[in-house]
């Protein structure tokens, strides 16, 4: 693996982590019924991952194709730094240990449903835009 790619992935991860930190400053988890910042970054990161998955899979010479290196930088680097399973887990346990079972359950359901939904929707929309724009279909 090229050192430049490793550095770019690390830089992407740092940028994603800084965006997550900013979101956590804007929407602190303490006292919130559902930790909005982590939910938001997980859904946005999943959607970005869905877009780049669709773009990285487009290999028919389409004008929207991205290199595997760019996909790694964005998905592994930026989205990896942005999204967080550990914080989601800790905040859920914190809610449950305080006896806030409904908010804890809502946090789990919202992160899973909206995260998967965001990735699937972004992937589908991106593929649709590519197909409509190029008139091609990749099966």
- List the binding residues for Na(+): 80, 83
**Are 120 and 50 in contact, with CB atoms under 8 Å apart?**
yes
**Secondary structure (DSSP) of 80-127:** HHH--HHHHHHHHHHHHHTT-HHHHHHHHHHHHHHHHHHHHHHHHHHH
d(CA 17, CA 20) in angstroms, rounded, equals 5
Segment holding 46, helix H or strand E = helix 36-57
Q: How far apart are CA 76 and CA 70, in angstroms?
A: 10
- Annotated binding-site positions: 80, 83
- Spatial separation of the C-alpha atoms in residues 37 and 41, rounded to whole Å: 6
């Amino acid at each position: 693996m090229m050192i430049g790619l490793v550095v770019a992935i690390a830089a992407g991860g740092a940028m994603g982590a800084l965006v997550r930190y900013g979101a956590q400053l804007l929407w602190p988890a303490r006292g919130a019924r559902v930790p909005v910042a982590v939910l938001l970054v997980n859904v946005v990161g999943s959607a970005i991952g869905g877009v780049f998955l669709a773009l990285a899979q487009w290999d028919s010479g389409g004008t929207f194709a991205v290199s595997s290196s760019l996909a790694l930088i964005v998905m592994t680097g930026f989205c990896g730094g942005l999204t967080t399973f550990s914080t989601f887990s800790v905040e859920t346990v914190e809610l449950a240990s305080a006896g806030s079972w409904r908010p804890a359950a809502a946090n789990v359901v919202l992160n899973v449903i909206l995260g998967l939904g965001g990735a699937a929707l972004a992937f589908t929309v991106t593929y649709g835009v590519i197909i409509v724009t190029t008139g091609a279909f990749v099966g």
